[in-house]
Amino acid sequence: MSAAKTSAALALSAVGLVALTVVAFAIGRFPVAPGDFAAVAWAWLSGGTPDVPATVQTVILNVRGPRILAAIVIGAVLAAAGAAYQSLFRNPLVSPDILGVSAGAALGAVLGIFFALDVVFIQALAFACGLAAVATAYFIAARMRGHDPILILVLAGVVIGALLGAGVALIKYLADPYNQLPAITYWLLGSLSAATRADFLSVLPAAAGGMAVLWLLRWRISVLALGDDEAASVGVETGRIRAAVIAAATLMTAAAVSISGVIGWVGLLIPHLARLIVGPDFTRLLPVATLFGAAFMLAVDTVARTAGRIELPLGVLTAVIGTPLFLWLLATARRSWQ
């Protein structure tokens, strides 16, 4: 029954993602006819030259293409990392930034903007600080033996996140209010408007690597949801699997956040939604959540760039869409979860 549901969910979301991609290429300030899109896509795949104006080609290949691919990858990554964390921490209300990765990345990016670094360095700094924040929380928790390892890890993450948040607030206070502060605020709200092909390519290795780890460990991640003692007693090296999952999820989240800025809700909401449909077994949850996340992010980003006269910040949009959706899930979930 669940297997059939999983196949149906996968097939539907795959079709939905493809349809959304076509729509996303077509609409925007510069509309692209589906025929032109098909011609360019075909030429790109076959190596020929398409019979469409150069502007259309530029829009498809250099403007909209990288942005759409970035949205797909970032949505997939955030949802997969969130699903892994929810199983790992045995809590359906956990998101990928529970251990401070977003707070770390935010401080890194904000510092980069404050010191007027080149955009590549801002991204690199965001990525490095995201990893460093989680590593700090992890090692602090590892030093405190004799406690519930999961509780202490989450608390360490929350505390580190709060400290880094104070750092971000300090930089905002010190920043030039006409020049730097808008850039900082813009980054903190999340956006893909500046996503380039290089951005997309720079996230890809970390995203693929992290995904591969989660996929390989999918059964053991499922078993971890039993609790440490029970998972260990059926043969799981709980500490090591947890470390591997945290490393993988942090790597991919940090890479995503470093180009998009902080985007909340996706990593919390999408795994939750996927679990309601296919159940908590991570071997089924991971692929479904990944596809859902990709489709959701692409839809939200398409709305962000087409709905208003100015770009809407992604973080704001995900919250506006996410809150009612999440409340609806909570109201319906009482029946199937509890």
Compute CA distances 174 → 169, 177, 307, 329, whole Å: 9, 8, 34, 41
Q: Is residue 332 a contact residue for another protein (CB under 8 A)? A: no
The CB-of-329 to another protein minimum distance in angstroms stands at 14
203-242 mask for another protein (x: CB under 8 A)? -------------xxxxx-xx-xxxxxx-xxxxxxx----
DSSP code at position 51: S
List strand residue ranges (DSSP E) for the chain, in order.
Answer: none
49-68 mask for another protein (x: CB under 8 A)? --------------------
* Shorter beta-carbon distance to another protein: residue 219 or 328: 219
Q: Is residue 45 a contact residue for another protein (CB under 8 A)? A: no
| Interface with another protein in residues 80-109 (CB under 8 A) | 87, 90-92
Q: Is residue 176 a contact residue for another protein (CB under 8 A)? A: no
The CB-of-327 to another protein minimum distance in angstroms stands at 20
- Residue 328 phi/psi, 5° resolution? -65, -40
Q: Is residue 46 a contact residue for another protein (CB under 8 A)? A: no
Please tell me the distance from the alpha carbon of residue 116 to that of residue 122, in angstroms, as a whole number.
Answer: 9
Residue for token digits 């359906």? 92
Q: Is residue 149 a contact residue for another protein (CB under 8 A)? A: no
For residues 183, 188, 192, 193, the Cα torsion angle rounded to the nearest 10 degrees is: -30
Please tell me the distance from the alpha carbon of residue 267 to that of residue 101, in angstroms, as a whole number.
Answer: 13
For residues 285, 290, 294, 300, the Cα torsion angle rounded to the nearest 10 degrees is: 50
* Shorter beta-carbon distance to another protein: residue 63 or 232: 232
| Site size toward another protein, by CB under 8 A | 36
* Shorter beta-carbon distance to another protein: residue 117 or 232: 232
297-326 mask for another protein (x: CB under 8 A)? ------------------------------
Please tell me the distance from the alpha carbon of residue 63 to that of residue 30, in angstroms, as a whole number.
Answer: 11
Burial of 229 (0-12, 13-18, 19+ CB in 10 A): exposed
Q: Which of 146, 177, 308, 324 binds another protein (CB under 8 A)?
A: 146
* Shorter beta-carbon distance to another protein: residue 168 or 214: 214
The CB-of-280 to another protein minimum distance in angstroms stands at 3
* Shorter beta-carbon distance to another protein: residue 7 or 323: 7
Compute CA distances 291 → 4, 201, 284, whole Å: 17, 19, 12
| Interface with another protein in residues 262-301 (CB under 8 A) | 275, 279-281, 283
The CB-of-161 to another protein minimum distance in angstroms stands at 23
* Shorter beta-carbon distance to another protein: residue 51 or 229: 229
Q: Judge contact between 278 and 288, C-beta under 8 A.
A: yes
- Crossing angle between the packed helical segments 119-143 and 101-114, to the nearest 10 degrees: 140
Residue for token digits 């809150």? 323
**Closest by CA position to 87, among listed 216, 270, 211, 223:** 223
Binding residues for another protein, rule: CB under 8 A, are: 1-2, 87, 90-92, 145-146, 216-220, 222-223, 225-230, 232-238, 275, 279-281, 283, 336-338
